[in-house]
Amino acid sequence: MKISYNWLQELLPDLNSAPKDIAELLTLHSFETEVAGRLAVNPKVQVRKIIKLEPHPNADRLQLATITNGLEKITVVCGAPNIKIGQLVPYSPPGTALFDETGQDFTIKETTIRGVTSPGMLNSLRELGLHPEHAGIWILPDDLPLGTSLADHFPADTILKAEITPNRAHDCLSHLGIAREIAALLALEVKPPPLAELPQPSSSINGISLGDINIPRYMAVGFTNLVAKPSPLCLQAYLLASGAKPHNQLVDITNYVMYEIGDPTHLFDDQTLPGQILGVRPATDGEKITALDNEVYQLTRDDLVITIDDKAVAIAGIKGGAATGINPSTTSGLLESANFPPHAIQQTAGRLNLSTEASYRFARGLDPNLIDISTRRVAYLLLTSGAKITGVMDYYPKPSRRPVIKFDPNQVSQFAGLNIAPDQVKDILIRLRCQVDDTAHLWAVTGPDDRLDLNIPPDLIEEVLRVIGLDKIPSRTPNITAASRPLSDRVQWRELTRDLLAAAGFTETYNYSFSHQPSLDLVGQTLDKSIAIEITNPISPEQKYLRQSLLPGIYGHLLANKSKLGKRARSVEQAIFEIGRIFTRGDEGIVEGIVEIEHVAGISWGEEGQAHIKGTVDDILDQFSISRTDLSRFGQVGLLDTDTRLAQKLNTPVAFFELDFDRLINSAERDPDYQLTTGGPGLKYQASSKYPPVYRDLSIIVSPQVTIEQIQGLIEDTGKDLIADVDLFDEYQHQGQTSYAFHLKYQSPHRTLTDQDIEKIHHKIISVLTKELNAQIR
Amino acid sequence: MTEPLTEKLQHLRTEAKHALDKAADQDSLEPWRVKYLGRKGQLARLIKDISQLDAPARKSAGQLANTIKQELTQAFTARAAVFRDHHSAPATALSGASLPPASSVGHLHPITLSIRRIQHIFARMGFIVAEGPLVEDPAYNFDLLNIPLHHPARAETDTFHTASGSVLRTHTSPVQLRAVLAMNLTPPFSVISPGRVFRSESTDASHEHTFHQLEAFMVGERVTVADFKGVVKKYFSDFFEQNVTTRLRPSYFPFVEPGFEVDMSCIICQQAGCSVCGRTGWLEMMGAGMVHPNVLKNMNIDHTRWQGFAFGGGIDRLAMLRHHIDDVRLFMSGRLDFLNQFS
Ligand SMILES: [Zn+2]
């Protein structure tokens, strides 16, 4: 929620803290709050009056507006359709810094638009940096003095932004709530906003029809003598600071009160209402309503509508209807305010994708007693503007009361590990507007009406601790001893198996728990849909089932790396593995209907992959002291089908294994003996180069005294940062000499290497090897 | 080859350790690291040669090389810590460290390594490790954790649902309940549960729909917020091998009361302000709080006698900070140029 610092100062006359101190105070004691920015009008912007409008001679959609500051007049070009003669508008002379659609500022110059010179321009809210609204020129209130700087009437403000947690949404989605919070933390007094005294409920508003919908409270007030003119600038400034667009003073007052008190109300144009009886009912399936945003919403029986004589006039708690909205000719109105079921509002707002400031508040729950305050506050402001009340209705059959919490004040210390005296506890609770009866050992504490989150003793403990400050609680290392057997057999076996596989040359990979149809196709597997677990809201249609095998994912990962592999002719190119769960429907699992089985699987790619896999699986079985001949009980070992592999352009064989890890654990003939480790060094990941590598082979013949290390060292030293890898792939003795063959990987961290670059460095390496080692190049 | 590879490895081990013992100051550490552990260092060279051996020899040499790599790296880390403590310089000594790339010795996933590290830290503080199902009963994922159907916190959670009415667990918190109810734990106890969790959200450099969380849960007669602070400080300080500061802020999670957000002093900039911490000097690490009485009741624990704390935080984030990884999607990418950098 956006918070106006000026508004806080109005509610807290003794507030001395700067905005950034308020942000820090609230962050450490209440909820995350930051200073979001300033809201101010450029002092160069002036108040001017439109005295003449004529069409642009060369453009249909432009007008020439003649404006005056009371002394002199100028004519500017304007493209907005909403301006009329007699209106006051903001005018920026050339040289004024304004804002474009991306929020960047630009300085306007005198420009000629289709042959007419425009010395400056009239401004929208967006151009002034006050609001994203750009549909028209901002029409100012009539009473501003002509020719003055607009900034003189629009106080500069600082905007704070608070992330109100759901437990505080009942009381803190408002300036009054935030002011009360600050008052409690800093021991200040809140200056309460003035409220109107309403006449007794009368028969001039004719009743209410709620059916069996649970609406704890419903209030309505009729008004006449309404005028839909622009609001005073100070009120508009508060709305803009809150992120809302000003309309006219009638709509603005209801919005203002929502941002002030936290309780949304709605004002209908009385003359457009289709009858007398207010009501709330479920919409009928397919019922349509045009809302104030002029969008047509199709409703269902799960949505609630506000009705007059059973005709829908608003989507309850979310948005008013267009037909009954306040318009420029409104003179009488019906103000309504109610409590709607939070979950229903949440569902409808979500389904219609129509989250409004009102729905946001209703969906989180509001206290029915707030309705009286917000209604009287709106009435006060309307009466101040000259309106008259015609009648009042208040349906509140069962007034809401906060629970009395039986509270032992010593519990605060017991929870915190910090001694807090009962007097201090009491003082804090009173500052938080709680009623505290401390006559008995167990106190009787009642929270204020709007604190729907205060229900049980831990709620009060939290209040006391956060007001004192969580930083006051000391840090204490618990007096406990190391666990004698912290890891289950399963965890130990898993870690042992991981170590075994890593030592055997396998790299561990993690795959999603979702089956992925294209990966299944790659390995020629099909999913057994009769036992598959289906996700109803999958990431993609291809991933709508949970996996039944680890192999497709592992193989998919191998293929994803193909371009970087396969440049070698090693016996084993690459081996990867995963230990993870597969999922099927069944009755043997922990959760009803779901069976999760842990598997271990791996693949080895290369001429000796098959032997590698076979040897590794033997090692795994040995590890569990399970006989190697029992392999078939645990899973399978095999070679990927040649056609499938060739279709992926893999020319070397791919061998795989996949074993039921649960069964291995259950069949283990010995106990696991995994030792906890610190998980390796904290080395820094080096992001690989974005630029493509180039591979070259190099075969040389040297005397037997020359070592591989010498050769590799010279290659790397000569190639410097252009050599990404040197890989020996062949070595043999021939006529008393040794022949070595290397793959060289050239890659720059900074650019794409050209053929010329490669030639140059490759030749340099060759000449160094020839010179230093007397090598012959083959 | 004149000398068997395993002997070369043993010689290297002795020589490297001897050289490290002789390192007199911080400045002499980096040349040592480059010489022995660097990407083109002596150990890397020997490891490359392992691939030339036949299968049985390859396996034993591979295991030995892996052991030596771990030993030397740990010795280096310890030595670097000694110098760091003496000079109170920021912990940059490790930042340039890198180990041999792809070789015949395999690599463990950085999340695996982080979880091992977490297990090690918490086991020493008396915690046991529990695990639970990934496909959960909504009662365990939500209701029994005090998140009823119509609770806004539940509606706002982006949950994967299965056709049979289960959910993919959105946090590891259900394991609290599973551990207590299924393992018949009775207070006092301390449990951690690391594991995979799911949120139905679109992915970017800092969001994944599949990620990893650590849940910790400690219940006793007098387990307090002060104890929680002590455990968390030790956890992060041990994990990052530096003395971190933590900060609690009030927050809200339905299964705890009071609830906290836990911040850690930025380990990248030492609170000087950097892009990782958004120039605040603090990193948001996890949510926590004192276990809500309703949750204790749901575990059949007498909440008038027992109390405790619970916290849950991302493991991916820890690994990202520790290893300077800037994109969470790398963990599930299967990219070998990434995975092969860890061991
Ligand atoms: Zn930082």
Residues of A within 8 A of B62 (CB-CB) are 503-505
For residues A354 and B20, which has the higher predicted lDDT (pLDDT)?
A: A354
Query: pLDDT at position A330, please?
Result: 96
CA of B265 to the centre of ligand 1 (A): 8
Q: Tens digit of pLDDT for each residue in A585-594?
A: 999 899 999 9
With contact defined as beta carbons under 8 Å apart, do B111 and B208 qualify?
A: no
Phi-psi label, residue A578: left if phi above 0, alpha if psi -120 to 50, beta otherwise: beta
A559/A705 same-domain check: no
Share of chain A above pLDDT 70, in %: 98
Residue A584 lies in a domain: yes
Of B117, B124, B136, Cβ closest to residue A482 = B124
Q: Report which of residues A749 and A162 the model is more confident about.
A: A162
A247 and A353 co-located in one domain? yes
pLDDT at position A105 is: 85
Q: Are residues A345 and A376 in the same domain?
A: yes
Residue in the structure block whose two tokens are 């394991």? B175
Same domain, A11 and A90: no
Q: Write out chain A residues lying below 8 Å of B187, CB-based.
A: none
Side chain identity at A213, as an amino acid letter? Answer: I
**pLDDT score recorded for residue B103:** 38
Q: What is the pLDDT of residues A69-87, one digit of tens each?
A: 999 999 999 999 999 999 9
Q: What pLDDT score was predicted for residue A49?
A: 97
Q: What is chain A's mean pLDDT, rounded?
A: 92
Whether residue A201 lies inside any domain: the answer is no
The DSSP code for A432 is T
Residues of chain B contacting residue A489, judged by C-beta atoms under 8 Å apart: none
Q: Which strands make up the sheet holding A218-224, listed edge to edge?
A: A266-269, A333-338, A218-224, A388-395
Pair type for strands B282-291 and A266-269:
unpaired
Domain hosting B184: range is 110-342
| Residues of A in Cβ contact (< 8 Å) with B160 | 535, 537-538
Q: Which two tokens stand for residue A307?
A: 């009705």
B26-78 confidence digits (pLDDT tens): 667 767 777 777 666 788 777 777 766 776 676 677 777 777 877 777 777 66
Q: What is the pLDDT of residue A765?
A: 92
Domain match, A137 and A275 both: no
B128 membership: H or E segment, kind and range:
strand B128-129
Please identify, among B70, B86, B102, the residue that sits at the C-terminal boundary of a domain: B86
- Reported confidence tier of residue A569, pLDDT bands at 50, 70, 90: very low
Tell me the residue type at B165: G
B60, closest residue in chain A (CA to CA) = A503
Kindly state whether residues B129 and B250 are assigned to the same domain. yes
Do A569 and A658 belong to one domain?
A: yes
| The predicted structure's pLDDT at residue A570 | 54
**What is the B270 CA–ligand 1 centroid distance (Å)?**
6
Q: Does residue B174 fall inside a structural domain?
A: yes
What integer pLDDT is reported at residue B86 of this predicted model? Answer: 40
Helix axes B42-50, A708-719, angle to 10 degrees: 120
Share of chain B above pLDDT 90, in %: 56
State the ipTM, two decimals: 0.84
Q: Which of A416, A508, A728 is nearest residue B339 as measured by Cβ atoms?
A: A508
Q: How far is B53 from chain A (nearest CA, A)?
A: 10
Residue A673 counted as domain residue? no
Nearest 10 degrees: Cα torsion A378, A343, A366, A396: 80
| B185: contact with A, CB 8 A cutoff | no
Is residue A131 within 8 angstroms of chain B, CB to CB? Answer: no
Residues 6+ apart with CB under 8 A from B156: none
Same domain, B60 and B147: no
User: How many percent of chain B have pLDDT more than 70?
Assistant: 85
Same structural domain, B79 and B168: no
Chain B: closest CA distance from residue A291 (Å): 25
Using CB atoms and an 8 Å cut-off, which of residues 435-464 of chain A contact chain B? 456, 458-459, 461-462
A218 with A318, same domain: the answer is yes
Calculated CA dihedral for residues A364, A369, A373, A379, nearest 10 degrees: 100
Looking at the DSSP bridge assignments, the partners of residue A218 are: A338, A395
Is B52 at the interface with chain A, CB within 8 A? yes
User: A678 contacts in B (CB within 8 Å)?
Assistant: 74, 116-117, 120
Scanning A501-520 for CB atoms below 8 A from B yields 501-513
Average pLDDT of the residues in B116-144: 95
Number of domains in chain B: 2
Spatial separation of the C-alpha atoms in residues A480 and B231, rounded to whole Å: 11
CA separation for the pair B124, A172 (Å, rounded): 43
* Residue B20 sits at the chain A interface (C-beta within 8 Å): no
User: Is B157 part of the contact surface with chain A (CB cutoff 8 Å)?
Assistant: no
Whether the per-residue pLDDT at B84 is higher than 70: the answer is no
Q: With an 8 Å Cβ cutoff, is B196 touching chain A?
A: yes
Do B114 and B162 reside in the same domain of the chain?
yes
CA nearest to A268, candidates A304, A229, A221, A300: A221
Confidence of residue A521 (pLDDT cuts 50, 70, 90): confident
Residue B100: what pLDDT? 29
Q: For testing the chain A interface, which of B134, B200, B202, B280 should be mutated: the one with the most A CBs within 10 Å?
A: B134
* A716-742: average pLDDT: 82
Let me know if residue B323 belongs to a domain. yes
Domain count along chain A: 6
pLDDT tens per residue, range B223-280 = 999 999 999 999 999 999 999 999 999 999 999 999 999 999 999 999 998 888 988 9
Q: What is the pLDDT of residue B153?
A: 64
Q: Which residues in chain A touch residue B163, judged by CB atoms under 8 angstroms apart?
A: 533-536
Instruction: Answer whether B324 sits within 8 Å of A685, measured CB to CB.
Output: yes
Q: Is the dihedral of CA A749, A755, A759, A760 positive or negative?
A: negative
Considering the domain boundaries, does residue A685 fall inside one? no
**pLDDT for res B85:** 43
Q: Does B111 touch chain A (CB under 8 A)?
A: yes
Convert B237-263 into a string of H (helix), E (strand) and C (coil): HHHHCCCCCEEEEEECCCCEEEEEEEE
Instruction: Write down the pLDDT at residue B18.
Output: 75
CATH number for the domain including A301? 3.50.40.10
- Nearest of B311, B274, B319, B321 to residue B291 by alpha carbon: B311
Beta strands at A506-508 and A574-585: parallel, antiparallel or unpaired: parallel
Q: What is the pLDDT of residue B79?
A: 67
Q: Which residues contact A322 (CB under 8 A, 6 or more apart)?
A: A290, A291, A292, A294
How does pLDDT run across A197-245, given as a tens digit for each residue? 999 887 656 678 888 888 999 999 999 999 999 999 999 999 999 999 9
| A488 DSSP 8-state letter | -
In angstroms, what CA-CA distances link A239 with A10, A231, A506?
A: 15, 10, 62
Distance CA A744, CA A695 (A): 6
In this structure, the answer to whether residues A465 and A316 fall within a common structural domain is no
pLDDT digits (tens, 9 = 90+) for A494-509: 999 999 999 999 999 9
Contacts of A167 in chain B (CB under 8 A): 252
Contact A231, A248 (CB under 8 A): yes
Asked whether the beta carbons of residue A679 and residue B113 sit closer than 8 angstroms, the reply is yes
Q: Are residues A643 and A713 in the same domain?
A: no
d(CA B331, CA B322): 14
Arithmetic mean of pLDDT, A117-135: 93
Of residues B45 and A558, more confidence is placed in A558
C-alpha A749 – ligand 1 centre gap (Å)? 26
The answer to whether position A462 is within a domain reads yes
Encode pLDDT of B220-232 as tens digits.
999 999 999 999 9
Closest approach of chain B CAs to the CA of A485, in angstroms?
Answer: 7
Write the CATH number for B230: 3.30.930.10
Over residues B303-321, the mean pLDDT reads 96
Kindly state whether B95 is in contact with chain A, defined as any CB-CB distance less than 8 angstroms.
Answer: yes
The helix/strand/coil state of A4 is strand
Q: Where are the beta strands (DSSP E) in A628-775?
A: 635-639, 654-660, 694-702, 723-734, 737-746
Chain A hits for B334, CB-CB cut-off 8 Å, are 509-511, 553-554, 556-558, 560-561, 576
* A54 and A32, same domain (yes or no): no
CA of B268 to the centre of ligand 1 (A): 5
> CA B266, CA B284: separation in Å to the nearest integer?
9
- Asked if the model's pLDDT at residue B98 lies above 50, the reply is no
- A567 in reach of chain B (CB within 8 A): no
A266-269/A46-56 β-pairing: unpaired
Among A314-318, A708-712, B153-157, the minimum mean pLDDT is found in: B153-157
Mean pLDDT of A596-624: 93
d(CA A325, CA A314): 9
Measured in Å, residue A662 CA sits from the centre of ligand 1 at 43
A288 and A419, same domain (yes or no): no
Question: Please, which residues 20-49 of chain A have a Cβ atom closer than 8 Å to chain B?
Answer: 27-32
Lowest mean pLDDT among A427-431, A736-740, B129-133, B251-255: A736-740
Closest in B124, B163, B334 to A557, CB measured: B334
Instruction: Determine the distance separating the centroid of ligand 1 and the alpha carbon of B213, expressed in angstroms.
Output: 22
Does residue B102 lie within any of the structural domains? no
Instruction: Give, rounded to a whole angstrom, the gap between the first and last alpha carbons of chain A.
Output: 73
Give the mutation candidate from B33, B257, B290 for the A interface (greatest A CB count, under 10 A): B257
Residue B103 lies in a domain: no
Looking at the structure, do residues B213 and B334 belong to the same domain, yes or no? yes
Distance B284 CA to ligand 1 centre (A): 11
- B81 and B120 inside one domain: no
The count of CB pairs under 8 A between chains A and B is: 347
Q: Are residues A518 and A651 in the same domain?
A: yes
Q: What is the pLDDT of residue B87?
A: 36
Model pLDDT for residues A264-292, shown as the tens digit of each residue: 999 999 999 998 889 999 999 999 999 99
Kindly state whether residues B54 and B114 are assigned to the same domain: no
SS3 of A715-752: the string is HHHHHHHHEEEEEEEEEEEECCEEEEEEEEEECCCCCC
- Here the CATH number for the domain that contains residue A11 is 3.30.56.10
Helix (H, G, I), strand (E, B) or coil at A282: strand
- pLDDT per residue as tens digits for the range A53-64: 999 999 989 999
* Mutation to test the A interface, candidates B12, B103, B157, B162, most A Cβ within 10 Å: B162
Q: Please report whether residue A197 resides in a domain.
A: no
Question: Is residue A194 in a domain?
Answer: no
Whether the CA torsion A761, A763, A765, A768 is positive or negative: it is negative
In a domain, A377, yes or no: yes
**Which residues contact residue A540 at a Cβ distance below 8 angstroms, ignoring those fewer than 6 apart?**
none
Q: What is the pLDDT of residue B88?
A: 32
Question: B173 and B63, same structural domain?
Answer: no
Q: Give the model confidence (pLDDT) of A434-482 as tens digits.
A: 999 999 999 999 999 999 999 999 999 999 999 999 999 999 987 677 7
One domain, residues B234 and B188: yes
Of B129, B182, B290, the CB nearest to A415: B290
Q: Is the dihedral of CA A401, A406, A408, A413 positive or negative?
A: negative
Alpha-carbon distance A437 to nearest alpha carbon in chain B (angstroms): 22
Exposed/middle/buried for B86, CB within 10 Å: 0-12, 13-18, 19+?
exposed
Chain A contact for B335 (CB, 8 A cutoff): yes
Domain assignment of residue A339, given as a range:
208-395
Strand partners, A134: none
Q: How far apart are CA B295 and CA B143, in angstroms?
A: 9
User: What's the pLDDT at A606?
Assistant: 83
